[in-house]
Amino acid sequence: MVCPLDSWLSDKLMQQIAEENNLSETAFFVKENEVYSLRWFTPTTEVDMCGHATLASAYVLFECLDYEKDTIVFSTKSGALKVWKEDNRYVMDFPIQSIESCDISEQIEKAFGVKPIATFASMDYIVVFENEEEVVNAKPNLALLKALDLRGVCITSKSKKYDFVTRFFAPKYGIDEDPVTGSAFTQLVSYWAEKLGKNILNAKQVSARGGEVHCVVKGDRVEMSGGAVMYLEGVISILNEEEI
């Protein structure tokens, strides 16, 4: 869900709108000089990085609000994020998140019922499984994942068709499973680029809705690209803010 604004609403009201939407993320943006300030809210909290809603915000500007320049610059809690169009895809320039190897916790192993081959910590836990079937068939105990200390858990493995596949769970942020998670790929490429010895990676998030993501590693940045389509356009009616 993308909400273009002429000026900022209160943090409380934006969080209430995101809670009412009950989607993985609700994005709000305001034009400030030559850039667009962009913020993202899950149903329970504001987050520091979100790829999916950034791509959607760029789609709204390009396709609905007649943005005329080649590149959009978003000002965010993760710094300046650029988005541009290439054919029928949108390319996002994000910072890569470093990862650190960590012990395989009993809680993670118990949550998935399968022992991973490795785990890493960054913004989220990156959990590497032996094969694609373990990722696709995973039915995690969300209560155990919700009790973990980081934002969420990203599971991943090598793939027969793609370089890797992934799924993402963040129940403590009101997201049992996210359909496509751009911010997770800023961590995943740290592992897979080194593991596979390549800087161009084609991946798929194999959630129920799913989505393919093309990644190009460029130093400490990653360019991620994917498509977008319009699903619904409407107007949110808000009561007097003091009455909410």
Would you place residue 238 in the very low, low, confident or very high pLDDT band (cuts 50, 70, 90)? Answer: confident
Would you place residue 231 in the very low, low, confident or very high pLDDT band (cuts 50, 70, 90)? Answer: confident
Q: Average pLDDT, whole number, for the chain?
A: 95
- CATH code 3.10.310.10 for 100-226: yes
Q: For the segment 38-47, what is each residue's pLDDT rounded down to a tens digit? A: 999 999 999 9
Q: For the segment 150-195, what is each residue's pLDDT rounded down to a tens digit? A: 999 999 999 999 999 999 999 999 999 999 999 999 999 999 999 9
> pLDDT at position 242, please?
62
What are the strands, taking DSSP E only, across the chain?
2-5, 26-32, 35-41, 46-47, 71-76, 79-86, 89-95, 100-102, 118-121, 125-128, 153-158, 164-170, 175-178, 200-205, 211-218, 221-226
Q: For the segment 84-140, what is each residue's pLDDT rounded down to a tens digit? A: 999 889 999 999 999 999 999 999 999 999 999 999 999 999 999 999 999 999 999
Positions annotated as catalytic residues are 25
Q: Of all residues in the chain, what percent are helix, strand and coil, respectively (each to 5)? A: 25, 35, 40
Mean pLDDT of 16-37: 95
Is 100-226 in the same CATH topology as 2-92?
A: yes
Residue 244 has pLDDT above 70, yes or no: no
Q: Do 199 and 217 meet the contact criterion of CB atoms below 8 Å apart?
A: yes
> pLDDT at position 241, please?
58
CATH number of 2-92: 3.10.310.10
Residue 243 has pLDDT above 70, yes or no: no
d(CA 83, CA 179) in angstroms, rounded, equals: 20
pLDDT above 70 covers what percent of the chain? 98
**In the chain, where are the structural domains located?**
2-92, 100-226
> pLDDT at position 103, please?
94
